[in-house]
Amino acid sequence: MSKVAVFIDGGHLRSYARKAKKTYNPAFVVATARATLSAGDTLFRILYYDCDPFSGTVKKPVSNTPHTFPPNQSFLNSLAEEELVAVRRGVLKFRGWERTKASLAATDAAVAAGNPPPAVTDADFSARFEQKGVDLRIGLDLSTMADSGAVEEMIVMTGDTDLIPALKLVRARGFQVSGVALPNYAIIGELRQHLDLFRSVAAW
């Protein structure tokens, strides 16, 4: 019997869940984490890493009028209330605006047809965000878990190669680290080299 902890990079899981058209809610996250367990495993804790949606007021790219992103912490707050779940929050930073693919395609089509490009409005842009602090928190918790000796195996659900130094550290301290292959996702080679075992979620 092995005591295990499951570490989930929320951005990674959410990306593949959306591609599979799954409803992304706390119950889905918990069910996916538990689907990685094998017979005989004892779950110590699910650690979930993500950011709350950006909140704040910024200026729109064309009209320069203010646009407010309201605060919304309901998802992570609800997930944190689930049994054996701990939520670690990073920060989502606003990094400006970028033209949407549809807007760029419309401009290209107009130019190719010899027509003047359509006027650009605020609706032609989408907000660009950058997630900060998530991989750092995963790495710190992996190290802390190894120091505590609370588990025998750490299951890591991520595609982030920035975690390789933390994975190497945990393995050097004598702990097994497993990666998770989600449906239609294969663990990349660079990450596979620093994992001991491979688990899979066979079906959503």
Q: Domain 2-92+130-200: which topology?
A: Rossmann fold (3.40.50)
pLDDT at 65: 97
Give the angle subtended at the CA of 83 by the CAs of 184 and 29, to the nearest 5°: 15
* Residue segments in the chain with a per-residue pLDDT below the cut of 50: none
Q: Contact, 70 vs 32, CB < 8 A?
A: no
pLDDT at 164: 95
Q: Which residues pair with residue 41 across a beta bridge?
A: 2
pLDDT at 84: 98
How far is Cα 188 from Cα 144, in angstroms, rounded to an integer?
A: 25
pLDDT at 83: 97
pLDDT at 185: 82
Q: Which residues contact 86 (CB under 8 A, 6 or more apart)?
A: 45, 46, 47, 48, 80
Amino acid identity at 165: P
Tokens of 163: 């975690």
Q: Which residues pair with residue 130 across a beta bridge?
A: 93
pLDDT at 188: 83
Quickly count: other Cβ atoms within 10 Å of residue 32's Cβ: 22
pLDDT at 94: 95
